Each structure stands twice: as structure tokens, then as C-alpha cells.
Amino acid sequence: MEDGISLITLVELAQSMDVELKSETLFEGERVLYDNVTSSAFDSWDLEKLEISFIRQMRALKNSLHARNIMHPSLDHASDQFIKRNGLSGFDARVAEYIIRDRYCDTFYGGPSNLTSFDHFWSESSFFGENFFVKKGFNQLTEKLAENLDIRLSTPVKGVSYSNSYGVRISTVDSGVFKARKAIITVPLGVLKSNGLTFDPPLPEEKQEAIDRLRMGSLEKVIAVFPKKVWGGEILFLSEQNTQGYFPAIYDITDLTGKPSIIAWHGGYGSTINLQMTDEEIIESLQDQMSLALGQNVPRPTSFFVTRWQENQYIRGSYSYIPTGSNPEDMDLLKAPVDNILYFAGEATNKHYYGTTHSAMISGADAALELINADSPRKSRTFETLFHRIQTWWIYESIQNALET
């Protein structure tokens, strides 16, 4: 069933809806690399050669860590072991730490490097093909999917009670109680972890333990528009990890926005300490860092936006990652239906594509299918209506095939 559904990509969905896409260009253009410890620029190849070397040695590094009885190694363990195994020191050791901790971990998985599992690092799948920006925002897709459906926004749920006798009762903060036979819960893992909504009876122990073990990563963004463009493409900055005001990677998005603009990524623990600053202080740090790397005074942005997803009670992070001591099967436990009444979807419930929008979409279709199939092997009218609206024959056909087999 899942194989059929995983054939769809969001690109195809967006194209079927005439939503404007733009080829991703984040990693194009001139790259500036700056080492804050020696206050000097360095060459891209200094980083790339160590990056290639790390990727080549990953299996050997895991084996050597396990042989040292480190059974659940983190990315910090991986970094230390890589440095040791290759006799790196000084600048090379700093570059290695930057690649493994700052780039791969903080600004990719979003988990602190001392907690992110090295065993499950890069174990997820990804789709082949080009990456795209959704030019005017993802909400175009969700708005089109939601056309003519009864979707209530700004209606926070505070509790879910369920029983074989009455089905589900969803209590909202200020819009009363909704009743249904069954429900699909799609709140982020961060909300489940923080008991942002209560379950009565409590979720099964096995599921709750999986929720406790899995973790929500934090990847935050600063988007800033400047009076003029004084950079080329990427700015990669090496500094002490977990220093306040440090942005490991800055990318040019001028082509996307049509204005001289950048997007700075910061994640993991680094983003948590950065967000202790005010937006103004964050922008000042970013400006200082860009000035250092570019060797000239970077003007103050004319406008900017700082995300604070980890502080948002309805998100509590960015997306899930697998920490040491957890494994992808915890995502299966998170996904498992409860009493054929509650079903679960969202990026963290798909162990193949977690952390992505694809995961969110596939897991939603999957949970809907599971819910329908639990009652009857025939496809339901509501489901069919929804997917007619999507008008993506890829999805429709694969779901039909799944239902017919």
C-alpha cells in the first residue's frame, strides 16, 4: 500500500494544481568560507575533501564506535572518532566538526549533535529529481486541497477522549466539542511530547514510550532583505559550536524573492541559544557575521523575519529526528492506530521520509486509507471526493490499486 502511495511527489501535486515552482538555487553561486578562529577565508575544497572522506568512512566509523562499546553513538561521537581516526588537528579538525556537527546535524536534522543518532544518520529515503521552491508559499497547496471541505482553522484542540461505545470526542479550547466515529491526529511530535493535548484514556504505554524517545529537532530561519546585494551565493562560517549569535550557513535567495535577500539557517542547541536574543540582536549578529566573512560593512537589512518555531506551543520544534537510544521503529509505534478509533499522521509517523513535507502528505493519505480499510475493503466516498479534488491521477490511481489489492 505504502509503495503505491510513495510514488507521488509534492512537485507533481503542485504541478497538477498549477502552483508556481522555482528550481532551488541555494547551493549555486559563489561560495565564501570563513574561519572565525583564524579570521581568514578558506577554500571550498578544504571542506569538500573532508566531507567526501567522512561520507566514505561512515560505515567504518560506526563499526569502530560499536567495537569500543559505544552502542548508540551520537554525531558528536562520529565527529570525535573521525578526527581521531584521520589524525586531524587545528583547522582541519575544526572543518570536520563544522561539517558533521554544524552542517549535517544542526542545520539538517536540527537535533543537538550530542543527542542525534549516528546509527540512523542518513538512514531515511529521499525522492529522486530536482528540488524546487514553492514560489508563493506552501499554503497554496493546502488551500487548494481544502477547497469545499469543512476545515476549521484557529480551533486549538485541548483534549481527545475515545471509546468503543461513542467513538471520539474532540474538545477544543473555545469552540466546543466535536464528535466523530474516528479521528486522525496530525499534531506535531513536539505537541504530543509536551502534552499539548490530553488523551482520555491515555495513549497505550508502548506509543507513549515511543513519543518520549523520539525527539523534535529545531531548524530556524532568519530571512533578511538588504538595500543592495553585497554577497555572491553561500556564506559558510566556522565558529565555536553553540556560540550565541552564530549562523553556520547563509544562502542567497535574491533570485527567489526578486529583492537582495538572504536566508540564514541555525539549528540544534545553537538555535535555542540564539533565540534567547531579541530579533534586533539576532539581526545585529547576522550583520556582524556577514561583514566579517565578506570583509566589508554589510548594511542593516531593510526588513527581516526571525522564525521561533521551537517556542510555538503548536509546533515545539521544526521536525522530528532520531536521537540516540531511539530507532525508526519508534515512528511505526507513533503511527499505530489505537483501538481502530484514533489514527496518527504527520511527518514523524513515516520512518522513510520523516522531517519532510512528503512525509506529512504520504502519512496523511496512509492514515486515511488505514482508517477506511479498517471498516471496509472498499474505498469510501469522502476519500474519493478528497482525492478527486487533488486531481492527481498518480495519487488516485495508486490509492485505487491499493484498495483493489
Ligand X SMILES: Cc1cc2nc3c(=O)[nH]c(=O)nc-3n(C[C@H](O)[C@H](O)[C@H](O)COP(=O)(O)OP(=O)(O)OC[C@H]3O[C@@H](n4cnc5c(N)ncnc54)[C@H](O)[C@@H]3O)c2cc1C
Contacts to ligand X by CB under 6 A: 156-157, 186-188, 191, 196-197, 219, 221, 309, 314-315, 318-319, 346-347, 355-360
Closest CA relative to residue 157, chosen from 184, 122, 137, 124: 184
Whether the CB-CB separation of 35 and 43 falls below 8 Å is answered with no
Residue 231's contacts (CB-CB under 8 Å, 6 or more residues apart) are 32, 250, 252, 262, 290, 294, 298
Name which of 121 and 321 has its Cβ closer to ligand X: 321
Neighbours of 395 (CB within 10 A): 22
Residue 335: all three cell numbers together: 503511527
Residue 27 neighbours by CB under 8 Å, 6+ apart: 233, 234, 251
Closest CB 137 distance from ligand X, rounded Å: 12
Instruction: Report the residue number, 357 or 401, with the smaller CB distance to ligand X.
Output: 357
Task: Give 61 or 275: the residue with its C-beta nearer to ligand X.
Answer: 275
The nearest distance, CB 173 to ligand X, in angstroms, is 8
Helix (H, G, I), strand (E, B) or coil at 174: coil
Smallest distance from the beta carbon of 323 to ligand X, in angstroms?
17
- Rounded distance between C-alpha atoms, residue 82 and residue 211, angstroms: 31
CB 226 within 8 A of CB 301: yes
CB of 169 to ligand X, least distance (A): 14
In this complex, which beta carbon is closest to ligand X, that of residue 53 or of residue 357? 357
Rounded CA gap, 17 and 389, in Å?
Answer: 10
Rounded to an integer, what distance in angstroms lies between the CA atom of residue 192 and that of residue 189? 5
Closest CA to 206 of 214, 197, 215: 214
Nearest distance, CB of residue 320 and ligand X, angstroms: 8
Least distance to ligand X, CB of residue 145, Å:
12
Question: Taking the complex as a whole, how short is the minimal distance between the CB of residue 186 and ligand X, in angstroms?
Answer: 5
Shorter beta-carbon distance to ligand X: residue 301 or 317:
317
